Every structure is written in structure tokens, then in C-alpha cells.
Amino acid sequence: MQATAKYAPLKDAVDEAIEICLTDELTPGTVVVIAHEGQIVYHRAEGLSNPGKGIPMQENSLFRLASITKAFTSLAAAALIEQGKMQMDDPVTKWLPDFKPKTADGKTPVITIRQLLSHTAGLDYRWAQPENGPYEQADISDGLDISGITLEENIRRLGTVTLNYEPGTSWLYSLSPEVMGAVIAKAHGSTFQKAMKELLTDPLGMTDTMFNAEEKDRGRMTVPYFMDNGTLKRMEADQLVLNEDGWRFLFSPERAFDPNEYPSGGVGLIGTGIDLLRLVEAIRTNTCPTISESLMKEMSTNLFPNGVPEDPSMGFCLGWGVLLDPALAATPQSPGTLLWGGVYGHRWFADPARKLSVVIMTTTAVTVHNEPVSTTIRNAIYANLPA
């Protein structure tokens, strides 16, 4: 992409940051897309999408989006709220009458749509629990593995496990979007896949975003890696990756090509960098064809003025995070920056104050707190962004 003179320093700095990440073997390949003041000013693919076959990264390479999926699920729900087919404070049992997990004292609380979207429903993730924890005992899928079960069965299992807290009283990153996906399907009167397409991806022109790739897409699909004691290693068919907190991620990369696997509202989508930028710009500008500006603003309103538990620098909205304290987070981003990432190695952020939207896609799973690729590129962007 040819940069204008105004953005030449930005282009040179981001090019250099990418080269550093590749030279230091932090990732085999990356796609970076930057929009400033509503215009794409940088779009580059570099490195390899499949090192084993020497396939270069392309601007339209496909990535497993992992938790970036959550923003899509939240906005699909918002589109149904806009249509009047559900309300924020409706009980989940209106659509899933059998989903009635109990609290530790044996009560069956009401769980609402708002609580699912804000991760305040009392649910958890299997990867965040100790080995042989309650979710593993119930054989609950996190949506990253080959599960062999339906979405409905996974939610049934989820409903049998005791909640971590009374819904609405705390925050815990969780499988709430899995439940939200089943609710969306019921409220839309179709499948979750069809609902996502009609409510969000088609209206935003996201032609390369899907829950399942076809064999014809295999050449564009990136091959995932992870860091094994500081060395890049290609993921196996069923790859267990641990981090310093004891989190246990089970990846099955072939899930992306398995049409029998359920559509995960938390981690299941596949897409390109340029498609994702369309979503990020919609979030930054509060503009979506199927959702009003007022509801888009509500989706991005922080619900935790003192930050989420264990991270006072970061708040949370109805599907993604919001930066509260840049100094505490050691970032040049503006207060109010909206952001999230995915464990397969991607990060997006929208900085309304700087009129900036950024998508950074990699092929290195991020299971640790330090994200050297996205951090290096982010810092280069802010140091060279025109005023």
C-alpha cells in the first residue's frame, strides 16, 4: 500500500516493528490494518501463513478469531434488541427454559441477557480452572477443541455446574457468549450461523467471516503456532498449551474445517484482517446498519468504573474491554480506548479520541499476559500517528 507523505513515517515505523517481530521469531507471519479518520492508511501482510509449505501471508489470509468472536456475538444480540425481539434485562430462560444453573447455596437465580453480555452471569471457562475442575468433570467445551457435541448439549452441561457467584454481583471472563449464541438462534428463529450472517456480517459487508471454512479456503487459512519455552512450535491436532497462571488451553485447529462442530459464540469465528476492521470501525464510530447509534453507544459504555477484578486499568462493556488508566496499563492509547483480543494471537483496538482503529493478526497463540507482537506494533503506531 502506498502511503501519502502524511503517513509515510507511520508506514516506515510499522514496517520496522513488523520486521523486528519476524526477525525475533515472535510469530511466523502477521497482517496489520490501520484506519485513521475513517480511511485505511496501512494494510500489510508479511511473513508466512504456512511455514511448512512456504506459503506467504496474504492480505486476505484467514485467521481463527478466537475471543474476538465475542464482539460479533454481542452486536448480533444488539441487532435483535434493536428489532424488539429481546431486551437487555430479559431472563435467559425466556429462550432457554432448561438453563437454570444454581448458586452455591442451592438457589436458582435469574440470569439476564445483560449479564451474559457483560460476563457477570457467574459462569467460568474450563481453561481457567485447575485440572479436573468442575467444568472438566462436566466435560464442558471451551469452543476451541473438537468437542463432538452440539451447542445445546454444551449448554446443558454448563447448566449443571454451580455458579461462581450470584449473577450481577461480580465479573468473570466466561462461556457466557456460548449461551448468548443459543439465545440468538432462538430469538432469530433460525440457526446461530444464519442469525450472525443476517444480523451483522452481511450488513457490514464482511464476506470473509464465517464459523466454518471450506476445503477451498485451506490455502488461505493460517497455520497456528505457540511458544514452547521461548521457541515457536507448530500446533498439533490437539494441542494443550499452559501458561504461567496454570491456565490450560486445548486447541484443535482442524475445528475450523469441521462442519459438525457447534458454532461457538465465544471463540468460533474465522475471518480476515480487513473484515475485522469493518467491525472495529463500526464500534469506534457507533455506526452499524442494523443497530441504532444510541444502542451502539450503550454497548461500549463501561460498567466497571474501578476496573474489573484484578485489573483496575481495564473496564468492560457489553462484549469488549475499555481502557481506564493508560499509565497503569503502560500503554500510549487514550483513556476510553475499546479493545479485545483472541488467544490464537490477534488484537484489535478502537481509540475514539485519536479517530484510530487497528487490527493486528498473528499466527502465534497468546496465552500469556505479555503480547510482544501487538505491543511492539501498537507502540510504533502511536509514536508516529499524525496529530
Instruction: Give residue 3's pLDDT band: very low, low, confident or very high (50, 70, 90).
Output: low
184 and 289 assigned to the same domain? no
Q: Which residue out of 67, 252, 264, 357 is catalytically annotated? A: 67
Q: Using alpha carbons only, what angle is made at residue 135 by residues 131 and 136, rounded to the nearest 5 degrees? A: 45
21 and 153 assigned to the same domain? no
For the CA atoms of 78, 80, 82, 86, the dihedral, rounded to the nearest 10 degrees, stands at -100
The number of angstroms, rounded, from the C-alpha of 322 to the middle of its chain's C-alpha atoms is 14
The C-alpha cell that represents 123 in the structure block = 459462569
Q: Is residue 208 part of a domain?
A: no
Nearest-angstrom CA–CA distance, 267 and 251 = 11
Residue-wise pLDDT for 311-361, tens only, equals 999 999 999 999 999 999 999 999 999 999 999 999 999 999 999 999 999
Residue whose C-alpha cell reads 452481511 in the numeric block: 202
15 and 134 assigned to the same domain? no
Helices vs strands, H then E, count in the chain: 11, 14
3-state secondary structure of 25: coil
Q: Is the dihedral of CA 62, 336, 117, 120 positive or negative?
A: positive
Instruction: Give residue 2's pLDDT band: very low, low, confident or very high (50, 70, 90).
Output: very low
Kindly state the average pLDDT of the residues 150-176. 98
The number of angstroms, rounded, from the C-alpha of 33 to the middle of its chain's C-alpha atoms is 16
Residue-wise pLDDT for 23-60, tens only, equals 999 999 999 999 999 999 999 999 999 999 999 999 99
Helix (H) or strand (E) holding 178: helix 176-188
235 and 366 assigned to the same domain? yes
Q: Mean pLDDT across the chain, nearest whole number?
A: 96
Active site residue 252: no
> How much is the CA Rg of the chain, to the nearest whole Å?
20
Q: In this structure, are residues 328 and 357 in contact, taking their beta carbons and an 8 Å threshold?
A: no
Nearest-angstrom CA–CA distance, 223 and 153 = 29
Q: For the ranges 260-269, 341-350, 365-374, which has the lowest average pLDDT?
A: 365-374
In this prediction, residue 375 carries a pLDDT of 97
Helix (H) or strand (E) holding 351: strand 346-351
Helix (H) or strand (E) holding 43: strand 39-50
3-state secondary structure of 332: coil
In this prediction, residue 335 carries a pLDDT of 98
180 and 110 assigned to the same domain? yes
Nearest-angstrom CA–CA distance, 204 and 174 = 27
How many domains does one find in the chain? 2
Q: Is residue 363 part of a domain?
A: yes
Residue-wise pLDDT for 67-119, tens only, equals 999 999 999 999 999 999 999 999 999 999 999 999 999 999 999 999 999 99
343 and 362 assigned to the same domain? yes
Q: Is 105 exposed, middle or buried (0-12, 13-18, 19+ CB in 10 A)?
A: exposed
Q: Is residue 259 part of a domain?
A: no
306 and 353 assigned to the same domain? yes
Strand pairing class (239-242; 270-271): unpaired
Residue-wise pLDDT for 267-309, tens only, equals 999 999 999 999 999 999 999 999 999 999 999 999 999 999 9
Name the amino acid, one letter, at 229.
N
367 and 218 assigned to the same domain? yes
Q: Is residue 258 part of a domain?
A: no
Q: Is residue 355 part of a domain?
A: yes
62 closest CA partner among 219, 242, 295: 219
Q: In this structure, are residues 33 and 282 in contact, taking their beta carbons and an 8 Å threshold?
A: no
228 and 358 assigned to the same domain? yes
Q: Is residue 276 part of a domain?
A: no
Q: Is residue 351 part of a domain?
A: yes
pLDDT over 80 at 224, yes or no: yes
Residue-wise pLDDT for 173-209, tens only, equals 999 999 999 999 999 999 999 999 999 999 999 999 9
Bridge partners of residue 221, in order along the sequence: 62
Print the domain residue range for 195.
71-201
Main-chain phi, psi angles of 251, to 5 degrees: -100, 140
Q: Is residue 190 part of a domain?
A: yes
User: CB under 8 Å to 141, separation ≥6 — which residues?
Assistant: 126, 147, 149, 154
Q: In this structure, are residues 360 and 344 in contact, taking their beta carbons and an 8 Å threshold?
A: no
304 and 361 assigned to the same domain? yes
pLDDT over 50 at 19, yes or no: yes
Nearest-angstrom CA–CA distance, 32 and 37 = 17
Q: In this structure, are residues 140 and 80 in contact, taking their beta carbons and an 8 Å threshold?
A: no
Q: In this structure, are residues 68 and 98 in contact, taking their beta carbons and an 8 Å threshold?
A: no
Helix (H) or strand (E) holding 17: helix 8-23
